[in-house]
Amino acid sequence: MTAEQPFAFDIAIIGGGAGGVLTAIHALRLADAGTRIALIEPTARLAQGVAYATTHGEHLLNVPARRMSAFKDRPEDFVDFLVASEGGQARETIAVAYAERRRYGDYLRDRLQLVRSGTKAHFEVLQDSVIGIDGEDANGRLLVQLESGADLRTRGVVLAVGNNPKPLPARGAAGLPAQSVLEAWDFDAIKLMPAEAEICIAGSGLSMVDTVLSLAANGHRGRIHVLSRHALLPLPHTKHMVAGFEAEALLAMSLRQRMRALREAAREAGTQGLPWQAVMETARPLVQELWRTLAHDDQRRFLRHVVRYWDVHRHRIAPQVHAQLEALQASGQLRLHRGRLQTVDREGARIRVSVSMRDRRSLELDVDRIVNATGVEMRAQLMRNPLLSDLLGKGLARPGPHGIGIDTTADGELVDAQGRNLANMAVVGSLRIGRLWESIAVPELRGQAENAARRLLASEQVGAPVERR
């Protein structure tokens, strides 16, 4: 493709991470002959993104394999893939195991290749970045502008762009040597840290867990400080079971009433010999509806006061991973600090980290490396994504509720600055967080991907002859 002769497509999927690849898989399953689909991704390898870019075996999925199928109508499909490609274990064992996370990227690429080989639609992967989109022309097509200078025209767009990490929230961070501050997602760089280095990890969520697992796999001997405002580590899964309480009753309650009801349900489950995790599993299918039915002011209260407590109970980790964290804490190598990161400064060959503790004391740590594990940026204006900046600047998009993500309809259609639904622009994945809150787990992601593909392909124009300009 050249800038002088752009292709025309029926659907352009922007982003080749899990959300984009799932959308491509479902679009190719549904598409008729003659439909033209493009997947645009700047990296050479698809189905990685933040979650599945790791190549290291210590990074495990956070749910058992049996709950990770790309297809609602084939719930055992990921297990089928693992059984066929690995073998050596009973199917029942594989189904309840927490597989290596890199295997899920392998799985999505495999399923994309299978459906691609059997489709009659035309499918292209373009290794490029999208920097802008112009509104509809006289023929109802969007102009997609690529970083390479090329353009393409399409009747429909799926926005499945990935996440960007938050910057390290400390004064002085910009003045530190680049090699002394690492991103938690830079898995290979984490592996190269000296075994004796004393490390401060800013953030105590799932990215922190990845970092600690990589250090432990390398035989790290230095002390590891974990710093966060709440000092809460992710909690473990147990055997899958549900509690006998009416989760639907939560939908009519206020935030305070919901939290009280969940605590009471957990206590009641305990009297029945069930773990508190059974209560969360009972409420799990309702997570998006729980967010949508929460009053606006209660949503704000959730974001200010509850979100971290919710996250550690909702987004749990494999039991063996949790046990490993506990062992590192018990040995004294892993130390958890409750406070807010204030400043970082060079102190000779080391870094001085200043922390404001919850009891208003100050803590100073002298460390060799800092790892930024503060999570993803949720505010679209701050994501440093040229495409999102372009859409917001042109009024083709607006921030989602509470300023997080971008705004969409309940079906995932993009909402512009005037509040109009753009039926030819669908959003899949984390950008829908403001409207849905839960938008990245596989059951939700695959549903969004299939719905977006189905809606865009149902357009009267899709599959009609297209021409090059």
Q: Given this model, what pLDDT does residue 3 score?
A: 44
pLDDT band at 50 (very low <50, low <70, confident <90, very high): confident
Least confident of 31-45, 269-283, 351-365, 451-465: 451-465
**What average pLDDT does the structure give for the chain?**
92
**Amino acid letter, 332:** G
Burial readout 40-75 (b: 16 or more C-beta within 10 A, e: otherwise) = bbeeeebbbbbbbbbebebbbbbbbbbbbbbbeeee
Higher pLDDT, 243 or 6: 243
| pLDDT band with cut points at 50, 70 and 90 for residue 2 | very low
Determine the average pLDDT of the residues in 105-127: 96
Dihedral angle of Cα 11, 39, 74, 210, to the nearest 10 degrees: -140
Closest CA to 295 of 257, 322, 262: 257
| pLDDT tens profile 66-75 | 999 999 999 9
Q: Higher confidence at residue 237 or residue 139? A: 237
Indicate whether 461 pLDDT > 70: no
Say which residues have a Cβ less than 8 Å from residue 335's Cβ, sequence separation at least 6: 223, 224, 225, 226, 329
Residue 111 has pLDDT above 70, yes or no: yes
pLDDT digit string, tens, across residues 283-335:
999 999 999 999 999 999 999 999 999 999 999 999 999 999 999 999 999 99
C-alpha–C-alpha distance, residues 378 and 388, integer Å: 12
Q: Is the pLDDT of residue 224 over 60?
A: yes
Q: What pLDDT does 165 receive?
A: 84
Asked if pLDDT for residue 226 goes beyond 80, the answer is yes
**Per-residue confidence band for 463, with pLDDT thresholds at 50, 70 and 90:** very low
Query: 353 and 200 in contact (C-beta within 8 Å)?
Result: yes
28 pLDDT higher than 60: yes
pLDDT above 90 (res 337): yes
Residue 466 pLDDT > 50, yes or no? Answer: no
pLDDT grade for 243, boundaries at 50, 70 and 90: confident
Structure confidence at residue 254 (pLDDT): 98
- Under the banding of pLDDT at 50, 70 and 90, the label for residue 49 is confident
Please report the pLDDT score of residue 6 as a whole number: 58
Task: Give the pLDDT score at 240.
Answer: 80
* Structural domains for the chain: 8-59+100-164+378-457 (3.50.50.60), 173-235+317-372 (3.50.50.60), 247-314 (no CATH)
The angle, 0 to 180 degrees and rounded to 10, between the axes of the packed helices 102-118 and 18-30 is: 20
Collapsed DSSP state (helix, strand, coil) of residue 22 = helix
> What is the pLDDT at residue 51?
78
State the alpha helices, DSSP H only, in 319-376.
Answer: 319-331
Give the separation between CA 427 and CA 224, rounded to whole angstroms. 39
pTM of the model: 0.92
